[in-house]
Structure 1
Amino acid sequence: MHSGPGEQPWDSLLDTEAAVAFTQELVRLRTVNSEGAEAVERPAADLVAALFTRFGWEHTVTEVAPGRPNVVATVEGGGGQGPTLMFEGHTDVVTEGDPADWSVDPYGAEIRDGRMWGRGTADMKSGVAAMIYGVRALQQAGPFPGRIVLGVMADEEGMMLGAKAFAASPAAGEVDGVVVCEPEGYEVCTSARGGIRLRLDLTGVMAHGAMPQEGRSPIEAGARIVEALGTVREWAAVRFGRHPHAGSVTVTPTVLLGGDPDQLNVIPAHGMVGVDVRTIPGTDHAELIERIRTTAEQAAEPFGVAVRQTVVDDRPAVETPEDHPVVQGLVAAHTRVHGSAPAFGAVPGTTDGTILTRDAGLPTVVYGPGGKWIAHQKDEFVEVREIGEYARVYAGAAHHFLTGSTTPAPEGGAAA
């Protein structure tokens, strides 16, 4: 069934047009992860479940919160015993913001100039479509050992409830490797930066703005804390070093609150500093969190302001060895499709893969259609050709992983 150098049976069976059309269907659903929303992913989950049914794939639809379902399918290879590979994605998206800031309809899924435009095109409804249709083509190409799990999770843009629920389920214990199909610009991301979100609540003494000697200002203390956090960033860069792909630890103040715009003559009693911390593999989170706490307290002490630190979220940096079979499968398949080996990289933030590694110990790698830096921006887009390209790579990577292939992939196609 080989129709050319480097081609595989599943290449000719891949329905790229259907994958593109399915991406459009998903993008046209406004599945914004917003506080108080009661049915974020439900319309997209129904669409995915209907496609799984049409393909004859056994699947479950499990709510992890009201209106927030995970859809998980298992595709048996029919070729005997073998490992289990999982492809993972999500269908919730961040808000589009003010539609007037967009040059296109955020939910139109318009195709123009070789690109599909709209919220979720890159992050990551195209990845969901590519993984589904890639697996479908591989299945139609004939038996393969083992099985493939397709997980379309809820709440990735929030607290990752979907990934947490799957990681806690018996099904996670049967998975041997995971490809997370988030947009990474053709990079095979074997590591992902960790994330710590901190809240520093400041308590001072309220006073008249004309009598500052009677108060203890959380605003002045907060400003000094923001400045002092720069020294923590410099310390962390030395203490934890630099990762070849994930870079260095960053410590970024993101919120500074205090006072009332309608009471400009009042020194407030309370304030807050919010901090976003991104870590690299090998970072000691407990040590870093303690360093931030003591630095903030020392900065606020001259102002007589108390500091109470709360860890809002703590996600570790994760890393899968480059010689792991799930990574090597992607490298081999990418090389075959594009004619050259991919670059390795790191995920700038966190994905569901972080949770699957942290909570279930699963080896994860992130690789999916869309630019690495396009997520959450206005005028989001994905190159239409990438949907088919990634579907081919997913099919090839699955075949390589499930068959235990050690033969270098033949080169073919055009480089990315």
Structure 2
Amino acid sequence: MTPVDPVDLTARLIRCPSVTPVEGGALVLLEDLLSQAGFACTRVDRNGVPNLFARWGNRGANRSFGFNGHTDVVPVGDAAAWTQDPFGAAVVDGWMYGRGATDMKSGVAAFVAAAVDFVRDTPPDGAVIITVTGDEEGDSVDGTTALLDWMAANGERMTHCLVGEPTCPERMGDMMKIGRRGSLTAWFTAQGVQGHSAYPHRAKNPMSALVRLMSRLEAAPLDQGSDHFDASTLAITTIDCGNPATNVIPARGTATVNIRFNDLHSGASLTDWMQGHAAAVEAETGVQITMRVSISGESFLTPPGEFSELVKRSVQAETGVAPAYSTSGGTSDARFVKSHCPVVEFGLVGKTMHQVDERVEVAQIGQLKAIYSRILRDYFA
């Protein structure tokens, strides 16, 4: 039978306008293809979020290799700034253009094509599982987490998983992810007493308290990094009170910080640390400070070992490049999968993701399928 063409599949997926939270036909397309290839498919939609689970082989197999990815994409932005139709999948000078071309419809197309050909040509002693969400670019509350919840309730399990996000910063094969930093955002609200700026002693300035608090939080580095992680970072992203008057001390102000943290911290430990500083500033200034924290993911690490080495060897065999192990970058759905099974990430060069004229080098799509195919062969060998 004719192998599945990952380039054609990428183009068909790009033509599905699946801007979060719209499914756009992308999961319907994949479900049809996988079902025809003998995968048992289930839509695991939750709270209106579209998700797809597909398994070839028996439930509860001793070995089950999983792929995870997403078909939702970020908005186009200024459509007039694009040189090609954002949902046209035009190929120009060896590059395919379109929203999601890099992040990450090409990755999904490559692992689906590899999985379909693999189970057809060399049926493994085990199971191959595909999990695809339509909510990775959104709140991620009902996406991969919904799939994992459904799997737990229905006796489905991956023994290892590869997330196909773009991981290579410069050239194909130069980096894979074995972990990710954690991420949290903290919103501070300072409630003081409004007054005339000429009589500051009659007011309690919330902005002064917030500036003092932000200064304390930034005073020293959170750490110097760990064995597999760079140093944690804290960024002040907003300080505001919405005050149009120059001679009025406002009654209320807000500030926001975002922290990307390594395995020396947890969301809880950093929350306690910030709360301690807020309480100290509150005691010093008399301004009431409240804090709200959202933890989008804890840091995690899949220690280098047999699984990561298998992926590394496969990448090197197909590209001639040995990927560096990395934990850099933002968050991905691997932060959810890590609680289910060991997980690593490998995918394309991600330079144009989320940009105007997002595009993927066509040759890399076939190369990525070849890498995923080799991973499957070696895993079940």
TM over 0.5, shorter chain: yes
Q: In structure 2, which of residues 222, 229, 237 is the aligned counterpart of residue 254 of structure 1?
A: 237
Name the counterpart of 2:167.
184
- The SS at the match of 1:65 is coil
Shift of 1:14: 4.2
Calculate percent identity across the aligned residue pairs.
30
1:71-82 alignment runs, 5 A limit: 71-76=52-57, 82=62
**Is 2:364 the counterpart of 1:376?**
no
**Structure 1 126/82 Cα, relative in aligned 2: closer, same or farther at 3 Å?**
same
- The SS at the match of 2:327 is strand
Q: Give distance in 2, aligned partners of 1:54 and 1:84.
A: 20
Name the counterpart of 2:35.
53
Query: Which amino acid in structure 1 is aligned with residue 7 of structure 2?
Result: V
Query: Which amino acid in structure 1 is aligned with residue 92 of structure 2?
Result: R
**Is 2:338 the counterpart of 1:357?**
yes
**Is 2:88 the counterpart of 1:97?**
no
Q: Give distance in 1, aligned partners of 2:12 and 2:198.
A: 60
- The SS at the match of 1:156 is coil
Name the counterpart of 1:336.
317
- The SS at the match of 2:102 is helix
Structure 2 segments unaligned to the other structure (5+ residues): none
Query: Which amino acid in structure 1 is aligned with residue 183 of structure 2?
Result: G
**Structure 1 369/155 Cα, relative in aligned 2: closer, same or farther at 3 Å?**
same
Q: Give distance in 1, aligned partners of 2:357 and 2:208.
A: 39
Query: Which amino acid in structure 1 is aligned with residue 343 of structure 2?
Result: T
Shift of 1:81: 5.8
**Structure 1 51/81 Cα, relative in aligned 2: closer, same or farther at 3 Å?**
closer
Name the counterpart of 1:28.
15
- 1:342-396 CA-to-partner distances (Å, cap 9, x unmatched) read 22222411111111213x3x1110111232x543333322221111111111111
**Is 2:293 the counterpart of 1:315?**
no
- 1:131-172 CA-to-partner distances (Å, cap 9, x unmatched) read 100112212322211010011113112232211112223257
Matched-pair contact (CA < 8 Å) for 1:334–1:342 = yes
- The SS at the match of 2:185 is strand
- 1:327-348 CA-to-partner distances (Å, cap 9, x unmatched) read 2331222122123422222241
Matched-pair contact (CA < 8 Å) for 2:167–2:349 = yes
Q: Give distance in 1, aligned partners of 2:286 and 2:88.
A: 54
- Give the TM-score of the pair, scaled to structure 1: 0.82
Query: Which amino acid in structure 1 is aligned with residue 349 of structure 2?
Result: G
Matched-pair contact (CA < 8 Å) for 2:108–2:164 = yes
Matched-pair contact (CA < 8 Å) for 2:67–2:164 = yes
Please say which of residues 167-176 and 379-388 is displaced more in the overlay: 167-176
Name the counterpart of 1:290.
272
Q: Give distance in 1, aligned partners of 2:10 and 2:215.
A: 45
Query: Which amino acid in structure 2 is aligned with residue 155 of structure 1?
Result: D
**Structure 1 278/387 Cα, relative in aligned 2: closer, same or farther at 3 Å?**
same
Matched-pair contact (CA < 8 Å) for 1:347–1:366 = no
Query: Which amino acid in structure 1 is aligned with residue 119 of structure 2?
Result: Q
Q: Give distance in 2, aligned partners of 1:247 and 1:199.
A: 25
Matched-pair contact (CA < 8 Å) for 1:228–1:296 = no
Q: Give distance in 2, aligned partners of 1:264 and 1:120.
A: 46
Query: Which amino acid in structure 2 is aligned with residue 164 of structure 1?
Result: T
Shift of 1:130: 0.7
Q: Give distance in 2, aligned partners of 1:346 and 1:41.
A: 30
Query: Which amino acid in structure 2 is aligned with residue 237 of structure 1?
Result: D
Q: Give distance in 2, aligned partners of 1:197 and 1:24.
A: 36
Query: What's the Cα RMSD here?
Result: 2.6
**Structure 1 381/229 Cα, relative in aligned 2: closer, same or farther at 3 Å?**
farther
Query: Which amino acid in structure 2 is aligned with residue 123 of structure 1?
Result: D
Matched-pair contact (CA < 8 Å) for 2:217–2:274 = yes
**Structure 1 202/64 Cα, relative in aligned 2: closer, same or farther at 3 Å?**
same
Name the counterpart of 2:129.
149
Q: Give distance in 2, aligned partners of 1:172 and 1:164.
A: 15
- Give the TM-score of the pair, scaled to structure 2: 0.89
Query: Which amino acid in structure 1 is aligned with residue 15 of structure 2?
Result: R
Q: In structure 2, which of residues 168, 186, 191 is the aligned counterpart of residue 198 of structure 1?
A: 186
Shift of 1:103: 4.1
**Structure 1 216/31 Cα, relative in aligned 2: closer, same or farther at 3 Å?**
farther
